[in-house]
């Protein structure tokens, strides 16, 4: 069996605050193989983006990471800051939600892609710019020669996001992290960007971590799904299995909150209650205060255990099939 491109082993992230230590990521473990897409889903504040920044070594000052993060078998947390920096853009790359804040307004789009190629592939300035234009062509930016000489403010949101993808994929990274890569884009452009990531993944064998709250995107583009809640993993499964047979009450709530048409009108379910304060989380299962199936045992933290082959859930009452039948 081949070594996964990315392996996380009980990763924690802590920040010092005026109220004490904040732990937005608490014991997260998962892996992703070459040519596969792992989706990480959950409500805002569940720890998705902080996990991604920990992998990339881009946490804000003061952030402390524990556990293990391995890229192609190499422990990233054992590397020096300079060594981590050398891995970024070359062996691993990230596409952020808002490309306008990630692109430098003082340089043309082509110069910024070319810079990554010069740094990580040692190309000459002319060769790097020529390859940047070729990457623009591959990500279907119209008039790539002209757009490569345009500044970010002269490009549409969809084009800027394509520039970010061109930059991320120019050096054929082992790992691509896409953090809500289509949030600010219209539906047509969203579909094009996601199809582009899928195409490049198939061509290069890149492993993709897709961070999103959009379960429709997950259904169409992910091979495996990790569901996070309040800094911990609630459920992990193959995408098809998760949608067909969710085994954590939080996942069931998320799937129920997806709008669906019934009788010509959209029906939208909600999860009662609020996300816990991570400075003072509840004991045991953090979803228990909002869970319709909670029992006394939920005051103890359930392990992330296999419910069916390849399907894990952190719930004392899993498998939930009988409970769901009774509740129906």
| Tens-digit pLDDT profile for residues 7-46 | 999 999 999 999 889 999 999 999 999 999 999 999 888 9
Residue 67 covered by a domain:
yes
* DSSP string of 205-226, one letter each residue: --EEEEE-S-HHHHHHH-SEEE
Domain that holds residue 275: 248-327
Shared domain check, 290 and 209: no
| Tens-digit pLDDT profile for residues 139-197 | 889 999 999 999 999 998 888 988 988 998 888 899 999 998 877 677 887 888 888 88
Ranges of H-type helices in 122-186: 125-138, 144-147, 157-169
Shared domain check, 173 and 301: no
Q: Is the dihedral of CA 200, 203, 209, 210 positive or negative?
A: positive
Shared domain check, 267 and 213: no
Residue 229 covered by a domain:
no
* Domain stop point among 157, 187, 222: 222
């Amino acid at each position: 069996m081949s070594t996964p491109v990315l392996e996380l082993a009980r990763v924690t992230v802590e920040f010092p605050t005026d109220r004490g230590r904040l732990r937005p990521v608490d014991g997260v473990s998962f892996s992703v193989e070459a040519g596969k897409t792992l989706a990480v889903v959950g409500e805002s504040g569940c720890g998705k983006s902080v996990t991604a920044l920990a992998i990339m070594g881009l946490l804000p000052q003061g952030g402390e990471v524990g556990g293990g993060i391995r890229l192609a078998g190499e422990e990233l947390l054992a590397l020096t800051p300079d060594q981590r920096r050398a891995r970024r853009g070359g062996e691993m790359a990230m596409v952020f939600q808002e490309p306008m804040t990630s692109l430098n307004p003082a340089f043309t789009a082509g110069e910024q892609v070319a810079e990554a190629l010069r740094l990580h592939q040692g190309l000459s300035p002319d060769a790097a710019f020529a390859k940047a234009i070729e990457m623009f062509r591959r990500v279907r930016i119209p008039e790539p020669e002209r757009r490569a000489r345009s500044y970010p403010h002269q490009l549409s949101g969809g084009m800027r996001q394509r520039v970010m993808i061109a930059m991320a994929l120019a050096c054929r990274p082992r790992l691509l992290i896409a953090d809500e890569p289509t949030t600010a884009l219209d539906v047509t452009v969203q579909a094009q960007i996601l199809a582009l990531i899928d195409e490049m993944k198939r061509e290069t064998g890149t492993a993709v971590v897709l961070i999103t709250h959009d379960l429709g995107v997950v259904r169409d583009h992910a091979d495996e799904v990790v569901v996070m809640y309040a800094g911990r993993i609630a459920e992990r499964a193959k995408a098809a299995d998760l949608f067909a047979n969710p085994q954590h009450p939080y996942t069931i709530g998320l799937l129920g909150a997806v709008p669906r048409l019934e009788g010509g009108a959209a029906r939208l379910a909600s999860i009662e209650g609020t996300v816990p304060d991570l400075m003072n989380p509840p004991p045991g299962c953090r979803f228990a205060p909002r869970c319709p199936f909670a029992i006394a045992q939920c005051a103890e933290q359930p392990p992330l255990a296999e419910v069916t082959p390849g399907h894990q859930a952190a719930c004392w009452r899993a498998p939930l099939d009988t409970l769901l039948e009774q509740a129906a």
